[in-house]
Structure 1
Amino acid sequence: MARSTIEQWRMFKAVADFGGFQQAADHVHKSQSTVHHAVNKLEEQLGVQLIEVQGRKTQITPAGQQLLRRITYLLAETERFENVAKNLKQGVESRLAIAVDEAFPKSVLYQALAEVSKEFPLVHIEVIETILNGANELLNKGVAEIALSPFTLANELSEDLCQMEFMAVCGAKHPLAQKHNVTPEDLKQYRQIVLRDSGQERQIDVGWLGSEQRWTVSHMATSIELIQKNLGFAWLPKTAIAESLQYGVLTPIQLTRGATRTLSLFLNFRDAQTLGPVARSFIGHVRYFTE
């Protein structure tokens, strides 16, 4: 069992940080004798000299320096622990899980997360990336508190956040890149890259799936990479491929119809009454940045 206390270590660190017992006492709002006694008692308990005084100069011994590096981390963790406990007392969640469809605009997500973290820096936020039914499924299972999904919840009020435009694209050196007036029949002879529904209970297919050749992948990034390598085509969110289009790595397919399509994305949660301050803050910022 530890014989030293956090308060003793806090006073020792104050002496090290501020260069003397009086300066430390002023910082921790204790008397100089109290600080001196705490450090002397700590040295006695450990059997190690931590501080030596030469004239008017207070110095940390090599042993003290070594222990100081370790105790600095422990004191920081103690402060975080106390702040988490304070948050819990005030009803602030210690954790927030958000299920986000990969089509959701990353810029909006990152801005909202940054603002929430400024307000609640100690809260652990988990972002779970999903495809199609995956976000709502995690919400229904209680794995996530919030879902940003392309589907509404059954018998629930879902909030329409934004519409995403999807564009049919291929790699710059893909045969489709050189064609004009491409028809759906023309597409059938080329490989289509399809995203797999991450939901386990009810998987569905969305969009045109008429190609005889098809590769199915689990992540948007994989789909984009395969298409950049001229290994297929797909309809992808314009926000996710804007840079690739700008630099000519991807090119729009010149379809006679259906070159673009839109998909609504919804904000879903089970019960507004059970949402804590962190969840409400995130929802507020997501609404603001999608306006």
Structure 2
Amino acid sequence: MELRQLQYFVKVAKLQHVTKAAEELHVAQSAVSRQIHRLEEELGVRLFMQKGRNVQLTPVGQLFLRRAESLLTDLDRAVMEIHEFLDPEAGEIRLGFPHSLGYHIVPRVVSAFRKLHPHVKFRFRQGMYASLIRDVTEGEVDLAFISPHPEKNDLVTGEIILTEELFAILPDKHPLAQEVAIDLDQLKDESFVLFNPGYSLRSLVWEACLKAGFTPKIGFEGEETDTIRGLVAAGMGVSLLPEMALYQTSAMMPVIVKVRNPHVVRTIGLIRRNGYKLPTVVQMFHEFLLDFFQNEYTSR
């Protein structure tokens, strides 16, 4: 089995088209077809089946794709680690994070790090809680910011780097908009604007409402903090958002009110794969982040 065969196989699997794969690989279509055929003969299985003008993975082909991608990823990392060993300042860091950290924290820490190490490259991947855990454990990213920090997970390890308060956000005409602080149960009859299922902030708000003695009524759902904030400002309901999601100002801004009971916070963690030795440049960034949040970070 040759490396070239795996590379051709993965490209065809992703594009589901031999000709398009050949064009992207800058080789003849016959060369791609020949290498795929040799790979199937060596494995003794069919990896693709014809579907019109396209090709589609067989069930065993889908299984093999996961392994082939993992092998190629590990090989890429091995080559990169050699380059980083020779020159850590020319390395690449793959960083995952949830959408809610994309506006404030990630640009801030990356900018601060690149002032010290201007030639280091970054590759970013945004995702929800479960996908970030998966990206770390499968080696798709080196480090990931995540919220909440996972308390028990044998596959990842990490540290809580930040604890952040959540605030109620209300339309400016809401009867409680002039209050300095409220109890969450004062919103029990309101319609809530929440994140879609799968987002950790949705679970956090839901659990806070249950703790306050009521089940929130869902009026609208969204995927971005800007959407949640804008819908509340437009009078479509109320919600809870973390402090850093409220830094940005716009023409459509809700009123921000402190929640005194229950006190709602979220933890933000920095995780990595358990038992995995970080490449030199990633270890540099990891140490930088721990120092940054301990000694330099302020919420504003």
TM-score, with normalisation over the residues of structure 2?
A: 0.55
Question: Is 1:270 matched up with 2:273?
Answer: yes
Unaligned runs of 5+ in 1: 1-83
Question: Is 1:170 matched up with 2:170?
Answer: yes
Match of 1:282 among 277, 282, 285: 285
Q: CA RMSD in A?
A: 3.8
Q: Which amino acid aligns with 1:187?
A: L
- SS at 2:261 equivalent: coil
The 5-angstrom pairing of residues 36-75 of structure 1 reads: none
Note closer, same or farther for the CA distance 1:177–1:234 as it changes in structure 2 (3 Å cut): same
Question: Is 1:250 matched up with 2:254?
Answer: yes
The 5-angstrom pairing of residues 20-39 of structure 1 reads: none
Cα distance per residue 1:178-210 (max 9 Å; x no partner): 6798665552332212123557xx998233352
**How far apart are residue 104 of structure 1 and its match?**
4.1
- SS at 1:133 equivalent: helix
**How far apart are residue 146 of structure 1 and its match?**
0.6
Q: Which amino acid aligns with 2:284?
A: S
**How far apart are residue 163 of structure 1 and its match?**
0.4
Paired residues of 2:165 and 2:266 also in contact (CA < 8 A): yes
- SS at 1:158 equivalent: strand
**How far apart are residue 272 of structure 1 and its match?**
6.4
Question: Is 1:117 matched up with 2:117?
Answer: no
Paired residues of 1:105 and 1:240 also in contact (CA < 8 A): no
Match of 1:147 among 138, 144, 164: 144
Note closer, same or farther for the CA distance 1:278–1:228 as it changes in structure 2 (3 Å cut): farther
Q: Which amino acid aligns with 2:121?
A: H
Match of 2:220 among 211, 215, 223: 215
- SS at 1:235 equivalent: strand
**How far apart are residue 124 of structure 1 and its match?**
3.4
In the alignment, which residue of structure 1 is the partner of 2:240? 235
TM-score, with normalisation over the residues of structure 1?
A: 0.56
Paired residues of 1:192 and 1:214 also in contact (CA < 8 A): yes
In the alignment, which residue of structure 2 is the partner of 1:196? 196
Question: Is 1:224 matched up with 2:222?
Answer: no
Note closer, same or farther for the CA distance 1:160–1:185 as it changes in structure 2 (3 Å cut): closer
In the alignment, which residue of structure 1 is the partner of 2:25? none
In the alignment, which residue of structure 2 is the partner of 1:206? 204
Q: 2:131 and 2:102 mapped to 1: Cα distance?
A: 17
Unaligned runs of 5+ in 2: 1-79, 210-214, 295-300
Question: Is 1:95 matched up with 2:92?
Answer: yes
Cα distance per residue 1:34-80 (max 9 Å; x no partner): xxxxxxxxxxxxxxxxxxxxxxxxxxxxxxxxxxxxxxxxxxxxxxx
Q: Which amino acid aligns with 1:249?
A: M
Note closer, same or farther for the CA distance 1:253–1:114 as it changes in structure 2 (3 Å cut): closer
Q: Which amino acid aligns with 2:231?
A: L
Q: 1:272 and 1:91 mapped to 2: Cα distance?
A: 24
Q: 1:108 and 1:180 mapped to 2: Cα distance?
A: 27
Paired residues of 1:197 and 1:203 also in contact (CA < 8 A): no
Q: 2:226 and 2:216 mapped to 1: Cα distance?
A: 21
Paired residues of 2:132 and 2:144 also in contact (CA < 8 A): yes
